[in-house]
Structure 1
Amino acid sequence: MDTKTSPDEQIGKSPKVKLDYPYEESEAPEQGKVKEVADGVFWVRMSLPFSLQWINLWLLRDHDGWVVVDTGMGMEETREHWRTIFDTVLEGQPVTRVIVTHMHPDHVGLAGWISRKFDAPLHMSQLEYLMCRTLVGDTGRKAPEAGIRFFKASGWDDQAIQTYKDRFGRFGLAVSRLPDSYERLSDGDVLSIDGSEWQILVGSGHSPEHACLFNAEKNLFISGDQLLPRISSNVSVHPTEPNADPLTDWIESCARLRDALPKDVLVLPAHNLPFRGAKARFQALIDGHEKSLRRLLRRLDEPKTVPECFGAIFVREISPDILSLATGETLAHLNCLIGRGQVVRTLGDDGVWRYERMD
């Protein structure tokens, strides 16, 4: 992963839907400070070194301690802001648990650091924990041949391949060392925090086993990147699993979560502002991807490479800094159409994949 590019950066047009925002941008907490959004639930905001400038993190009061939900990037600036919060908000009380929604560095980056500082257990889903350990283990390695073949087959030129080689293995630079053990989160689990129940609801597609937290009593949904109000989370195919179909996983999990949540739940997302309108937003995301799939299918009346398909998915020019994201998301749409039996892929003599609509 290129640590200069956010995994959640919007490279396409997010579908519009009317949502209710109880807070203005001016009401968001400054770094090193918190804002209470419900009894015992506090909003924390940290900066990111991306075009996506902020991540929302959450502090939950837990009797004589605190639970941290997501942690921000593994940067010294973020550590300093956390130290301020530990001194001024926690006032000597410990962090009792660290919960991470998923393994992207802006969420898991300081989980190990906070966990060790307070000897607090780390809670993650199994696939997110293991995938994070795997990616961190790639730090400093040379780009694998499988990855080079994958991007060549995706139509990348020599300059793009060289950039991939130069940037490979940087994931761990933004992630503090994870604990060697963790507490597993699974779909349907219930965590008791400060005498209130938080249910784990798992989504997939943006990441393998993304854990969200729903509190029916407080009518709150900590959504991580599974549901964002203004941007659409990236859904990508990666070199490690070139024939994966994450878009089908994403669409199905969005539909399942849409049906599981109350209409008026307050969503506490990882990016942008808290909002109400989860059901409509989930449906808009589903509809937006289905529209992109139909548009892409219409363009495949003759064989096309992955870059030749970008225009069906994205409304902006794909510059080199977002080529990886655009390739991964375009492949997610193409693999979805293959899975639906509507598109066939062939490998040309030049080693490049081409996609064509089936009769």
Structure 2
Amino acid sequence: MTTTLAGPKALDHPFPDAPATGQAITVAPGVLWMRLALPLSLDHVNIYAIEDSDGWFLWDAGMADAPTLETWEQLLAGPLAGRPVTRLLVTHHHPDHVGAAGWLCARTGADLLMVKSEFLLTRVRLGGLFADTETQDRDFYHARGLSGDATDGILGRGATYIETVAPLPAAYTSVRAGDVLRIAGQDWHLRTGGGHSDEMAMLWNPAARLFLAADQVMEKITPNIGVWPQEPSARPLDEFLTSLRALRDEIPDDSLVLPGHKLPFLGLHQRIEELLAHHEKVCGKIIAASADGPSSVGALIPRLFQRELPPHHAGLAFAETLAHVNTLIARGNLTHDADPDGKYWLRQVA
């Protein structure tokens, strides 16, 4: 689930039209932008190919469903034809990015590159290792005020993950923040950012002024920043905001941003400021709502998301609300304590 934001000023879109299915758009010399369809409300994921000295360097893979694999065959026979695929870097463990990676590596012989935590999270989720905690997870959501339908919607996603992510290769190449990848004779600096995922990979090419931002910075939407039952006191929002500030300080504003979803754009610093302001605004709404008296996290959802949410989206909205709550607890604005019945209540700190 993503949240749509309306910026105060339109960003510059040098490529206002998305590539058609099975086609590519050249966004920089030797850099192709392609799209894969998703069976979600966010109906696409962007993928990129960089023409390297010995073949193609690919960025993300899409879901392992039949339409995606068919599109990959069209791409391999079309804009990517005539050169081997040598490397595939997957940005994070979410199925719309890693799903077809194992299939694509087997199909092309490409080496898989991932941040170690993201590779291991994929393996853990493919192994269904969270399934044995479903009773405790259900208790976690119930104690914090999430409805039964929404809890069912969020807990039922484990099987969907396995259905849309192909098995990964037995071996891969680990990459980490600070690495410099040599692609097409240029240095691409690997950066990672938390919040939406554990260590989302991003690539920055100073010479070409290109920033492969994955889901960390996108136009119009902000990625889901969520807290999950495995780590109830996590503070992913803090990680996300810290990452955004670091990107603003390091990457020039005139860089072309190539995001995981939506359109490429210019105006990185403006977009980062909009994202920072959005999440601070959400924090302010939570503080204001808590002034009315003790509240559960679940009860805040209608105050923050003023539209009807299907069960799965309500579960994601809960995860994002709790992420903001945990940041406000750390800042000293709220407390979040259990009563004798095990129910958790938020209270504003006077």
1:159 and 1:216, CA in 2 relative to 1: closer, same or farther beyond 3 A?
A: closer
Which residue is equivalent to 2:209? 219
Among 15, 33, 38, the alignment partner of 1:23 is 15
Which residue is equivalent to 2:197? 207
User: Is residue 316 from structure 1 mapped to residue 346 from structure 2 by the alignment?
Assistant: no
1:10 and 1:353, CA in 2 relative to 1: closer, same or farther beyond 3 A?
A: same
Among 178, 183, 189, the alignment partner of 2:179 is 189
Measured after TM superposition, the shift of residue 309 of structure 1 is 1.3
Distance between the aligned counterparts of 2:88 and 2:169, measured in 1?
Answer: 11
Report Cα offsets for 1:63-100 as digits up to 9, x if no partner. 13101100111111111111111122333421110101
Which residue is equivalent to 2:334? 343
Report Cα offsets for 1:110-136 as digits up to 9, x if no partner. 111111222221111111111111111
1:23 and 1:164, CA in 2 relative to 1: closer, same or farther beyond 3 A?
A: closer
User: Is residue 251 from structure 1 mapped to residue 241 from structure 2 by the alignment?
Assistant: yes
Which residue is equivalent to 2:161? 171
Distance between the aligned counterparts of 1:308 and 1:158, measured in 2?
Answer: 13
Given that residues 14 and 285 in structure 1 are in contact (C-alpha distance below 8 angstroms), is that contact kept between their aligned partners in structure 2? no
Given that residues 152 and 311 in structure 2 are in contact (C-alpha distance below 8 angstroms), is that contact kept between their aligned partners in structure 1? no
Q: Give the secondary-structure state (helix, strand or coil) at the position aligned to 1:308.
A: helix
Moved over 6 A (4+): none
Q: Give the secondary-structure state (helix, strand or coil) at the position aligned to 1:317.
A: coil
Q: Give the secondary-structure state (helix, strand or coil) at the position aligned to 1:43.
A: strand
Report Cα offsets for 1:178-230 as digits up to 9, x if no partner. 11222112111110011111111111101010011111111111111000011
Which residue is equivalent to 2:274? 284
Instruction: Give % identity.
Output: 37
User: Is residue 134 from structure 1 mapped to residue 124 from structure 2 by the alignment?
Assistant: yes
TM-score scaled by length of structure 2 = 0.94
Given that residues 152 and 351 in structure 1 are in contact (C-alpha distance below 8 angstroms), is that contact kept between their aligned partners in structure 2? no
Measured after TM superposition, the shift of residue 12 of structure 1 is 5.5
User: Is residue 101 from structure 1 mapped to residue 91 from structure 2 by the alignment?
Assistant: yes
Measured after TM superposition, the shift of residue 316 of structure 1 is 2.6
Range that drifts further, 53-62 or 136-145: 136-145
Which residue is equivalent to 1:239? 229
User: Is residue 111 from structure 1 mapped to residue 101 from structure 2 by the alignment?
Assistant: yes
Q: Give the secondary-structure state (helix, strand or coil) at the position aligned to 1:82.
A: helix
Distance between the aligned counterparts of 1:204 and 1:45, measured in 2?
Answer: 24
Given that residues 149 and 311 in structure 2 are in contact (C-alpha distance below 8 angstroms), is that contact kept between their aligned partners in structure 1? no
Range that drifts further, 161-170 or 112-121: 161-170
Measured after TM superposition, the shift of residue 261 of structure 1 is 0.7
Distance between the aligned counterparts of 1:280 and 1:96, measured in 2?
Answer: 35
Given that residues 55 and 106 in structure 1 are in contact (C-alpha distance below 8 angstroms), is that contact kept between their aligned partners in structure 2? yes
User: Is residue 305 from structure 1 mapped to residue 296 from structure 2 by the alignment?
Assistant: yes
Distance between the aligned counterparts of 2:207 and 2:228, measured in 1?
Answer: 39
Report Cα offsets for 1:128-153 as digits up to 9, x if no partner. 11111111111894662221121112
Given that residues 32 and 48 in structure 2 are in contact (C-alpha distance below 8 angstroms), is that contact kept between their aligned partners in structure 1? yes
Which residue is equivalent to 1:4? none
Structure 2 regions of 5+ residues with no counterpart? none
1:161 and 1:54, CA in 2 relative to 1: closer, same or farther beyond 3 A?
A: closer
Which residue is equivalent to 1:5? none
Range that drifts further, 315-324 or 212-221: 315-324
The aligned length equals 349
Measured after TM superposition, the shift of residue 313 of structure 1 is 2.8
Which residue is equivalent to 1:354? 345
Measured after TM superposition, the shift of residue 57 of structure 1 is 0.4
Q: Give the secondary-structure state (helix, strand or coil) at the position aligned to 1:268.
A: strand
Among 274, 278, 290, the alignment partner of 2:264 is 274
RMSD across aligned positions (CA) = 1.8
Distance between the aligned counterparts of 1:189 and 1:251, measured in 2?
Answer: 22
- Amino acid in structure 1 at the alignment position of 2:2: Q
Distance between the aligned counterparts of 1:122 and 1:38, measured in 2?
Answer: 24
Range that drifts further, 311-320 or 231-240: 311-320
Alignment of 1:147-158 (within 5 A): 147-158=137-148
Among 86, 93, 102, the alignment partner of 2:76 is 86
Measured after TM superposition, the shift of residue 165 of structure 1 is 5.0
1:341 and 1:153, CA in 2 relative to 1: closer, same or farther beyond 3 A?
A: same
Distance between the aligned counterparts of 1:206 and 1:164, measured in 2?
Answer: 16
Q: Give the secondary-structure state (helix, strand or coil) at the position aligned to 1:290.
A: helix
Q: Give the secondary-structure state (helix, strand or coil) at the position aligned to 1:169.
A: helix
